[in-house]
A = this chain, B = another copy of it.
Amino acid sequence: MTYAEKSRHQLQDELDILTGEYARWQARGLALNMARGKPAPAALDLSRDLLDALPGDGAMTDAAGNDLRNYGLLTGLDEAKELMGQIMGVPAANVIVLGNSSLNIMYDTVSRSVTHGVLGFTPWAKLDKVKFLCPAPGYDRHFAITQHFGIQNIVVPMTPQGPDMTVVEHYVNTDPAVKGIWCVPKYSNPQGITYSAKTVRRFASLRPAAGDFRIYWDNAYAVHDLAEKGDQLADLKHAADAAGNPDLYYMFASTSKITFAGSGIAAVASSAANLAELQNTLFYQTIGADKINQMRHVHYLKDIEGVAAQMRRLAAVIAPKFDAVLKTLDAGLGGLGISSWTKPNGGYFISFDGLPGTAKRIVTLAKEAGVTLTSAGATYPYGKDPQDANIRIAPTYPSVDELALASELFVVCVKIASIELLLADKS
A: residues with CB less than 8 A from B are 38-39, 41, 44, 47-48, 51-52, 54, 58, 60, 67-73, 99-101, 103-104, 107-108, 111, 114-116, 123, 125-126, 141, 144-145, 148-149, 256, 260-263, 283-293
> Are A115 and B111 also in contact (CB < 8 A) when A69-B263, A261-B70, A262-B71 are?
yes
B38/A256 in contact, CB under 8 A:
no
B290/A262 in contact, CB under 8 A:
yes
Report the Cα distance A261→B125, complex, angstroms.
34
CB of A143, distance to nearest CB on chain B (Å): 11
A290/B100 in contact, CB under 8 A:
yes
Chain B residues within an 8 Å CB radius of A101 = 286-288
Q: How many copies does the complex hold?
A: 2
A100/B289 in contact, CB under 8 A:
yes
CB of A396, distance to nearest CB on chain B (Å): 11
- Told that A104-B285, A148-B284 touch, could you supply 11 new A-B pairs with CB distance under 8 A? A44-B67, A47-B69, A48-B58, A51-B292, A99-B100, A103-B286, A104-B287, A114-B115, A125-B125, A263-B292, A290-B290
- A54, A70, A145, A149: residue with the most chain B Cβ atoms closer than 10 Å: A70
Report the Cα distance A107→B71, complex, angstroms.
17
Chain B residues within an 8 Å CB radius of A100 = 99, 287, 289-290
A41/B67 in contact, CB under 8 A:
yes
Chain B residues within an 8 Å CB radius of A284 = 107, 141, 144-145, 148
- A39, A72, A100, A108: residue with the most chain B Cβ atoms closer than 10 Å: A100
Would you give 7 A-B contacts (Cβ < 8 Å), ordered by A?
A: A44-B70, A73-B262, A99-B100, A100-B290, A103-B285, A116-B148, A262-B292
CB of A103, distance to nearest CB on chain B (Å): 6
Q: Which residue of B lies closest to A104 (CB)?
A: B286
Chain B residues within an 8 Å CB radius of A260 = 69-70, 292
- The 3 A-B residue pairs with the shortest CB-CB distance, nearest first, are A69-B260, A125-B125, A107-B285
Chain B residues within an 8 Å CB radius of A71 = 38, 256, 261-262
Report the Cα distance A69→B45, complex, angstroms.
9
A69/B54 in contact, CB under 8 A:
no
B261/A287 in contact, CB under 8 A:
yes
- A58, A60, A125, A290: residue with the most chain B Cβ atoms closer than 10 Å: A290
Report the Cα distance A411→B48, complex, angstroms.
54
- Which one of B58, B126, B290 contacts A293 once the chains associate, using CB atoms below 8 Å? B290
A115/B149 in contact, CB under 8 A:
yes
Q: Which residue of B lies closest to A100 (CB)?
A: B290
CB of A189, distance to nearest CB on chain B (Å): 14
Chain B residues within an 8 Å CB radius of A99 = 99-100, 290
Report the Cα distance A264→B285, complex, angstroms.
16
CB of A260, distance to nearest CB on chain B (Å): 4
> Are A262 and B51 also in contact (CB < 8 A) when A101-B287, A103-B286 are?
no
Report the Cα distance A198→B256, complex, angstroms.
48
A287/B103 in contact, CB under 8 A:
yes
Chain B residues within an 8 Å CB radius of A111 = 111, 115
CB of A183, distance to nearest CB on chain B (Å): 19
Q: Which residue of B lies closest to A257 (CB)?
A: B71
Chain B residues within an 8 Å CB radius of A116 = 148
